Amino acid sequence: MRIAYTVMGYGRGHAMRTAAVLPALESAHTVRVFAGRDAHSVLSHHHDSVEIPVIGYQYGDDGRISPRRTMLRNAGPVADLLAAGPQTRRVWNQMADFGPDVVISDSETYGHRFARHYGIPRIGFDHVGIMAYCRCRFAEGDRLAGLRDGLGYRAFMGDPDRVLISSFYPARPRHERVQVVGPILREGVRKALPHDGGGLLVYLNKGDHQYTSALDTALRACGETTVVYGTSRRGSHANLVFKAPSQQGFIDDLAAAHAVVCTAGNQLLSEAIHLGKPVLALPEDAVEQRLNARAICDLGVGESAPLHQLSLATLGGFLERRNHYAQATAAHRRDGLGEAITHLKTAIAQLSMRGQRHPGRLARWIGAY
C-alpha cells in the first residue's frame, strides 16, 4: 500500500503525533509525508517528506491572533483551495506523482480535498476534529463558537471514510465511524524517566508573538529556574534559559521540570500529564485551545490563565498548588499509541479493498484539470 500522510504545519504538535505513528506504518507500507512548514521541519530529517503550503493564524502587533490579518493573509490561498487553483493543483500533482492508495490527514486540508476529488479513501487522524465529530464540554461562552468551528472544520476537511480522534480527555463520538483514542506519545516521551529536577518548562507554539513583557516579568519574578522553548531568543538571562528547538532536549527538560507553563495544544498537555507534570495552560485565542485548557482544569491536573494577562499572583498560586495537581495526573495517564495503530491498520485494510485508480492516470487527470 502507498499512503500519503498529510500534516498541518502550524505548530509542532501535529508533527509529534505523526512521528509517533509513522514507524509502524512505514514497516508495512510505502509512506510519503506531505507537511506544512513547522511539521516538515521536524519530519523531514527522518521521513520521506515534501513541504506543502500551510494556512495558519496571523498575529497583530500586540502578539494576539489577528482575525483581520488572518483573513487577509489567507484569502488568496483559501480561494485557490476552494477553486482548485494553481497552488492547489501544484500540491495535488505532487501527491498524484506519489500515487497513494490511501490518504491519512492530520488536520491538513489539501490532502483531504485531493482524496475526496479523486475518490481515494481517506482517514482523518487528529485532535481538532473532536469539535466536529464528538460531543464536547466547551469553555464557558464557547458553545456556539465551538459549533461554528466544528462546521468550519468539516467544510475544509469534509467527512472522511474513517475518523480517529486522539485526546487526553474523554469525548463521546457522534458517529459510529468515529473512534476516540488516548494521547499519541512519541517514543522519547514513553521512554523518559520523570523526576523533579526543579524549575519550570515554558513552551509557546508561536513564542515570538506570545512571549509578552507581562509573561517575562512574571517568570523572572517567580524565582524559578525556567527553560523557555518556542521563541527566537537564545541564552541565559537572569533565571531564564532560552533554548532552540530540540526533540530530545525538550523531552529531557520536560521530564525534569516540576511544572509546565504552555499554550494549550493537545500534544504537549498529553505528554505533561503522562510524565506527571502539573500544567498552567495559557490558551491561544482559539476555541480548541480553550477546550483543552478547560479539560486540564476539569481533570484536576492544573489551571488555566489568559495568555496575555499572566500575573505573578496567578503563576505563584499555581506553583503553590503544583504538588496537588501532580498527584492528580496519575489517574489520567494513558498511552493511546497502540490503540491508534490498531485502528489505523484496520481502517487501511478495509479501505484498501476499494478499487483504486492507476497513479499515472491520476497524475494525467490532475495535470489536465
Domains recognised in the chain with CATH numbers: 2-184+336-367 (3.40.50.2000), 188-332 (3.40.50.2000)
Residues 6 or more apart in contact with residue 256 via CB below 8 angstroms:
194, 195, 196, 197, 198, 199
Is the pTM for the entire model greater than 0.85? yes
- Given this model, what pLDDT does residue 348 score? 95
- How do beta strands 30-35 and 2-7 pair? parallel
Confidence of residue 361 (pLDDT cuts 50, 70, 90): very low
Backbone angles phi, psi at 293, to 5 degrees: -65, -40
Percent of the chain at pLDDT > 90 equals 75
Predicted confidence (pLDDT) per residue in 100-123, tens digit: 999 999 999 999 999 999 999 999
Q: Which residue has the higher pLDDT, 229 or 140?
A: 229
Question: What pLDDT was estimated at residue 63?
Answer: 63
Give 257's DSSP letter.
-
Least confident of 1-15, 28-42, 91-105, 315-329: 1-15
Provide DSSP, 291-345.
HHHHHHHHHTSEEE--GGG--HHHHHHHHHTHHHHHHHGGGG----HHHHHHHHH
Q: From residue 90, how far is each of 10, 39, 120, 331, 359 by CA, in Å?
A: 20, 19, 18, 47, 16
Give the residue ranges of DSSP H helices in the chain. Answer: 13-26, 37-43, 67-82, 86-98, 109-117, 130-133, 143-157, 187-191, 207-210, 213-222, 247-256, 266-274, 287-299, 312-320, 322-328, 337-351, 359-367
Average pLDDT over every residue of 17-29: 95
**The pLDDT of residue 369:** 45
Q: Residue 79: what pLDDT?
A: 85
Average pLDDT over residues 192-207: 93
Q: Using CA atoms, how far apart are residues 235 and 213, in angstroms rounded to an integer?
A: 18
Mean pLDDT of all residues belonging to the chain = 90
Pairing of strands 162-166, 102-106: unpaired
pLDDT confidence of residue 226: 97
pLDDT of the residue at 198: 87
**Residue 358 confidence class, pLDDT cut points 50, 70, 90:** very low
With a CB cutoff of 8 Å and minimum separation 6, the contacts of 350 are: 162
| The pLDDT value given to residue 359 | 47
Instruction: Label residue 368 by pLDDT band (50, 70, 90).
Output: very low
Q: Is pLDDT larger for residue 62 or for residue 276?
A: 276
- pLDDT at position 78: 80
CA 250 – CA 188 distance, rounded (Å): 10
